[in-house]
Amino acid sequence: MPTVLDQIIDGVREDLAGREARLPLQQLQRQCDGMPAPRDAEALLRRPGLSVIAEVKRKSPSKGDLSQIPDPAALASAYARGGATAISVLTEERRFSGSLDDLTAVRDAVDLPVLRKDFMVSEYQVWEARARGADMILLIVAALDDRRLASLMDLAGTLGMTCLVEVHDEAETTRAVDLGATVIGVNNRDLKTLEVHIDTFARLAPLIPQTCVRVAESGVQGPDEAQLYARAGADAILVGEALVIGGDPAAGVRSMIEAGAAR
């Protein structure tokens, strides 16, 4: 029986085929010519303290509608004022109501590294991300075999982009480390069931070399969880839901950074 992840990827592939038909790869690649070099997100995430990757997120398969976010640029600017290290932009349309236009709007609004967060299965999507000014891409180990994961990592590296390589269990963590990932995100949400287990990061973090940037994803409801993840060894947290529904995104980011400093 197909998992939630399988169903999402099926939709992603269908939408991707439509975009490829409208804009062939060679034309997309030409759009990247002469673009400014990507920002070095990894270097910024390695700075002392707990970094926050703040997310532009309208909805999710598990919670449904979260926030309308009529102006992604304004939200990203608020995150920047709060001290976010990077901005994550969900671009998947069917389950998250995101778009590549959101990515463009955020890129134009802030000078921070911008992450394209999507279900990346094709080199075309990497070129799309770069053409829209993304500095980082998300690669989900559960969605990719080793050959495709390595290929997407290599392409992103050639384009100067940082890969946030996402894992959910011990086997995926080992795969990511063995393939040379240097920024590894532990998603505490099981993408097959959508359940969150907040102890997943603490269980998997020891498997990730200290030379890597360790990112905790999902389950951050506020400063308490930020501090919990920081104490478990997180260099950064990726936060969406809590910030978009919290009422004051700048203050929300700031409070999490402060809590992380108190590890």
Q: Report yes or no: 52 and 84 within 8 Å, Cβ to Cβ.
A: yes
Instruction: Say whether 57 is catalytic.
Output: yes
Between the alpha carbon of residue 150 and those of residues 35, 67, 123, 136, the distances in Å are: 24, 35, 11, 16
What's the longest Cα–Cα distance across the chain? 51
Catalytic one of 51, 88, 97, 187: 187
Q: For tokens 């839901």, name the residue.
A: 241
> Is-catalytic flag, 59?
no
* Catalytic position from the list 166, 172, 225, 241: 166
Catalytic residue among 77, 117, 128, 172: 117
Q: Which of 57, 60, 188, 225 is catalytic?
A: 57
CB 31 within 8 A of CB 131: yes
Among residues 42, 128, 172, 217, the one annotated as catalytic is: 217
The Cα-based distances of 73 to 87, 106, 154 in angstroms read 10, 5, 30
For tokens 């997943």, the residue is 200
Q: Is there a catalytic annotation at residue 218?
A: yes
Strands 51-56 and 86-90: parallel
Q: Among all chains, which residue has been given the structure tokens 């939200």?
A: 75
Q: Which two tokens stand for residue 86?
A: 């990077």
Beta bridge pairs of residue 8: none
Task: Give me the torsion for CA of 218, 223, 227, 230, rounded to 10°.
Answer: 50
Select which of 42, 51, 55, 172 is catalytic. 55
CA 46, CA 58: separation in Å to the nearest integer? 28
Residues marked as catalytic: 55, 57, 117, 166, 187, 217-218
